[in-house]
Amino acid sequence: MKTFVHISILVLSALLWQACKEKPKPAANPATNIPIVLEGKHVDVSSLYKRNKEALIESLYQELISKSEELKQLDAEIKGIAQLQKQATDSFHLFDSKNRAYYESALLSTTNIRDSIFRKKVQGIINESFNAYKTQILPHQQLDSLLSQKNTTITDLYTLLKVVKTLPAMHNFQEERLPGTGTAEAFSRQLDSLVQKLYTLTKK
């Protein structure tokens, strides 16, 4: 499992590095390569970012999903993992909770025993049984832990995939929508003129 996870991370990391390294090629129709969420002067992505810092990349990725059946199926599969894990482990969790509730109740009941020596003997019997039970369910607990680790790995890899898939769109946006400096330069010259005028007036 660890080998699989390490290989998966290395592969997706390589894809991420490649996506960052390569400059996007000019497209014949640039508008089709720019995500809708980034297009138009009336789209305020800053408010989206302030509400949830992860919302922008999620919006970009959801747009990609809408155009790819493969990504759509993958997204549905990953979203269904939590429910599938619950179905796979619910019976054990219910079984375990009932057993633990019994042992907790049994130990609590011993507080009613007035004879301290007899009370300790009964508590010892209960604890011995509880320890045997914990040994019995150890394989189930280990499997439960393994399932949670795999689920975490999938979540981490999916986050990396979202970055890998959305970076090219951002590169296109950066290449094709970077504003010119003409307006700012003209305003800078206007400020220079105003500064000069103020200097002139202060010398009179």
112 lies in some domain: no
Is position 131 within any domain?
Answer: no
pLDDT above 90 for 129: yes
Q: Give the structural domain span for 47.
A: 2-79+137-203
- How much is the pLDDT for 152? 93
| 168 in any annotated domain | yes
Residue 26 falls inside a structural domain: yes
Domain for residue 132, yes or no? no
Domain count across the chain: 1
pLDDT digits (tens, 9 = 90+) for 24-53: 444 444 445 667 766 654 455 555 555 566
Burial class (CB in 10 A: 0-12, 13-18, 19+), 166: buried
Within a domain: residue 105?
no
How high is the pLDDT of residue 179?
A: 86
- Does residue 10 lie in a domain region? yes
Q: Please check whether residue 159 lies inside any domain of the structure.
A: yes
Residue 192 pLDDT more than 60? yes
Tokens in use for 37? 């969420």
In contact, 56 and 191? CB cutoff 8 Å = no
Q: Does pTM top 0.85 for this prediction? A: no
Q: Each residue of 140-176: pLDDT tens digit?
A: 999 999 999 999 999 999 999 999 999 998 898 888 8
> Quick check: 103 and 126 in contact, CB under 8 A?
yes
For residue 103, the model assigns a pLDDT of 97
pLDDT in tens, 75-89: 999 999 988 988 999
